[in-house]
């Protein structure tokens, strides 16, 4: 187990920290440990923050499963932590209500078909029997509530 001394800095802050870190831990895990230890793992709203890590040298962002050893990050390197915001924390580009002519489209929660829908009953005129249409297009029964006289 090799360790090196690195200077760690969050991209949106000025304070730096010198830390001894292991070189055989994947960057994703290492960044999570460092973020938790430095209290960087939550944003002001309480949402979890993850980071991309840029190492200088070699002067590039490291891959999540890569180790510092694999990336040939030397003793004395600088690690800059860039916050990554998930779609859950970023506001939508256009709120759904503002898209012209749009209506919500219901989607099933899984790939299985929807179960338990009833056939559509269309009321027949008074002189004809009621017809049961089983097209499963909705779970509602249509009923005329006013009559044209």
**What is the pLDDT, as a whole number, of residue 47?**
87
| Correct CATH for 3-84 of 3.40.50.2000, 3.30.70.2190, 3.10.20.90, 3.40.640.10 | 3.10.20.90
Q: Which two tokens stand for residue 73?
A: 């990050």
Using one digit for the tens of pLDDT, what is the confidence trace for 94-143? 454 454 555 554 444 444 333 333 444 555 555 655 555 455 454 555 55
Strands 16-22 and 3-10: antiparallel
Residues of the chain with pLDDT > 70, as a percent, come to 56
Using one digit for the tens of pLDDT, what is the confidence trace for 7-32? 999 999 999 999 999 999 999 999 99
Please tell me the pTM assigned to this model. 0.57
**16 bridge partner residues:** 9
For the chain, the structural domain boundaries read 3-84
């Amino acid at each position: 187990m090799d360790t090196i001394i690195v200077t760690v800095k969050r991209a949106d802050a000025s304070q730096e920290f010198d830390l001894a870190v292991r070189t055989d831990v994947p960057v994703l895990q290492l960044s999570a440990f460092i973020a938790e230890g430095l209290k960087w793992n939550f944003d002001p709203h309480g949402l979890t923050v993850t980071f991309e890590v840029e190492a200088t040298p070699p002067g590039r962002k490291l891959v999540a499963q890569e180790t510092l050893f694999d990336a040939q990050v030397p003793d004395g390197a600088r690690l800059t932590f860039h916050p990554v915001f998930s779609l859950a924390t970023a506001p939508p580009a256009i709120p759904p209500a503002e898209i012209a002519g749009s209506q919500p489209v219901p989607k099933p929660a899984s790939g299985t078909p929807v179960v338990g829908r009833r056939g559509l009953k269309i009321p027949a005129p008074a002189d004809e029997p009621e017809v049961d249409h089983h097209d499963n297009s909705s779970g509602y029964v249509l009923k005329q509530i006013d009559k044209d006289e």
